[in-house]
Amino acid sequence: MNAERSPNRDVIVVGASMGGIEALSNLANKLPADLPAAVLVVQHIAETSPALLSAILDRKGPLPAVTAEDRMPLERGRIYVAPPGRHMLVGKGGTIRVVFGPRENRARPAIDPLFRTAAVHCRSQVIGVILTGLLSDGAAGLYAVARCGGVAIVQAPDDAPSPEMPRRALERVPEAVTPTLAELAPLLGRLAREPAPPPPEIPETLETEVRLTERAMRNDDWFKVPGRPTNFTCPECMGAIQELDESGQRRYRCRVGHAYSAEDLLGEKGSAVEDTLWVALQTLEERAEMLASMARDDRVRGRSHSAAGYEERARETATHAERLRELLRSLPV
């Protein structure tokens, strides 16, 4: 499935998160049986979950659905689902790549890698669809689809159970079409039969990022990332982070390849702060308990002076722990 052999919009990439299984089931049920396009789906799911989504979608609609495997050929009229714990990419020459790459936007599988690779390798043949979900995975990928001549579609936020991901995508691609879920399947059926227009030139920075995604961000590729150094460290690996600016929208990548939107990086930093405070609280409470135990031992042995010192230090430590607990209670949810 490439530009020479297929003049139509025959690659549909779909991303979903919170509320996505129900939305995807609804979509699969209504897709036309003669859809002349391959459908590739990323649903955010725990990495330890069983790969059940393809079986669910296979039962729901007329198109056969399978869990994607590496090097599997793309075929029209089929649904391919990213497996848990792996990114699904569109490779060169009409194939699927399934890779164990770094998480992007705190997810693996993530939506952005699929959309980005589809945009570069299939260009104006791509239809990108963002459904219900939280945070902003998929926004940068949908922007890549639009930059390469593809069609950008976002579920109407008012129609989505979790509207944050659609809203973030629309902030990034305000010209995207915004159907309700009920309108989506007929729209995809029509678009898949339209000729793909001549694609624009692919931005060099996007080609570079796709190449790095496919190569799992080897260290010798780090200096090819089109970004600026920052003072931030990656929440997952503590490596250096570079800032990428796409028309005023900031994204972040570390040396290993973990990638974040600004919102997701902020969320990870917030989680790291909370985790650190809980560890500090546990350490303080354990220290207070140890000091109190040492004070009791010295009292038994008649060492009243040293026991009093341990007791004072235990009280001070317990006070610090209680103040830290109050701080944790006041953190925003």
Residue 99: beta bridge partners?
87
Residues 275, 6: Cα–Cα separation, whole Å: 51
> Which residue shows structure tokens 């879920």?
181
Per the CB < 8 A criterion, the answer to whether 96 and 109 are in contact is: no
Whole-angstrom CA distances from 331 to 262, 274, 295, 323 are: 20, 8, 34, 13
For residue 188, which amino acid is it? Answer: L
- Among residues 10, 121, 136, 137, the one annotated as catalytic is 137
- The tokens for 223 are 């200096």
Residues 253, 256: Cα–Cα separation, whole Å: 8
For 309, residues 6+ apart whose C-beta sits below 8 A from its C-beta are none
For 51, which DSSP code?
Answer: S
- Among residues 17, 54, 124, 162, the one annotated as catalytic is 17
Let me know if 137 is a catalytic residue. Answer: yes
- Among residues 44, 87, 121, 258, the one annotated as catalytic is 44
Let me know if 306 is a catalytic residue. Answer: no
Beta strands 65-67 and 79-81, pairing class: parallel
Phi, psi of 106, deg, nearest 5: 65, 20
Beta strands 11-16 and 126-130, pairing class: parallel
Per the CB < 8 A criterion, the answer to whether 214 and 121 are in contact is: no
Let me know if 44 is a catalytic residue. Answer: yes
- The tokens for 299 are 């009292």
Residues with catalytic roles: 17, 44, 137
